[in-house]
Amino acid sequence: MSASTDYPSFLTPKVANENQSHDAAIVVFVLGGPGSGKGTQCQKIVEHFGFTHLGAGDLLQAEIDSGSENGAMIENFKKEGKIVPSEITVRLLQQAMQQSENKKFIIDGFPRNEENRAAFENIVGIEPEFVLFFECPEEVLTKRILNRNQGRVDDNVHTIPKRLKVYFEQTLPVIDHYSSKGKVQKVDAHRSVDEVFEGVKSIFCRLTK
C-alpha cells in the first residue's frame, strides 16, 4: 500500500507491521444515535470480553490536545466547520490498532457514513466481524440527551432534532450495507443498562468465540 503524500507522516502506516497487526484482528463497529448508551455499553464490553475500545472522536481530540502540527491541522478542519477527511480518521484508528498488543477492538461511533466505511475497508483492509447497532426511539434519545447534562452546547431542545436527523440520514446507509451482508446485530436500547447488556452479552458470546 502506497502512502498518500497529501497527509503527514504520522498517518502513514508502518507497512512492515501492517499484516502482523491486522491478520488476527477482530473489529466490531458500535453504532447508535446520541443518547443510545454506546459509551456505557462499550465500557462493559471492555470489562467482560477484553476488547480495546477505540473512539474516532477521542483519537482526533487526543491528536489536537497533543499540540502537534498534525493536531493543529485537524483542529483547523473543525474550526472551519469542515469534516475531517475520512482518510485522516482511519489512519488514526489504524495507528491505534497497530500500537495495541490486543487483537480485539470495538470502534465506537464509526463509521458515521459510507465514506468512512469505504475508507476503513480500503485502508485497513478488513471488514468488521459484525456491527452492534443500538436501536432506540427518537423521543427517548432526545429525553436522555437533555437529562445527561454533559455541558455540550448542542445538548438542547433546538439542536437535538437536527443532530438526530443528520445522524440517521448518514448512518442508516451504513447499517443497510452491513445488513445486506448479515453483519448487523441489533439491540433494543430502550431498556435499563443491565437489560441492554444482557442482550449485548448474548451477541458477543455467540459471535466472538
110 is in an annotated binding site: yes
152 is in an annotated binding site: yes
156 is in an annotated binding site: no
151 is in an annotated binding site: no
Integer Cα distance of 117 and 86 in angstroms = 9
44 is in an annotated binding site: no
Which residues make beta-bridge pairs with 108? 30, 55
84 is in an annotated binding site: yes
187 is in an annotated binding site: no
40 is in an annotated binding site: yes
109 is in an annotated binding site: yes
Phi, psi (5° rounding) for residue 84? -60, 130
Q: Which of 104, 116, 85 is nearest to 178 (CA)?
A: 116
What Å distances lie between residue 187 and 118, 131, 144, 154, 190, CA to CA?
A: 24, 11, 17, 26, 9
137 is in an annotated binding site: no
55 is in an annotated binding site: no
111 is in an annotated binding site: yes
74 is in an annotated binding site: no
186 is in an annotated binding site: no
Note whether 128 and 27 are within 8 A (CB).
yes
What is the chain's alpha carbon radius of gyration, rounded to the nearest angstrom? 17
**Per residue, what are the HEC states of 12-52?**
CCCHHHHHHHHCCCEEEEEEECCCCCHHHHHHHHHHHHCCE
**Residues in binding site:** 35-40, 82-84, 109-112, 116, 148, 152, 163, 191
**Residues in binding site for a ribonucleoside 5'-phosphate:** 82-84, 109-112, 152, 163
**Residues in binding site for ATP:** 35-40, 148, 191
**Residues in binding site for CMP:** 116
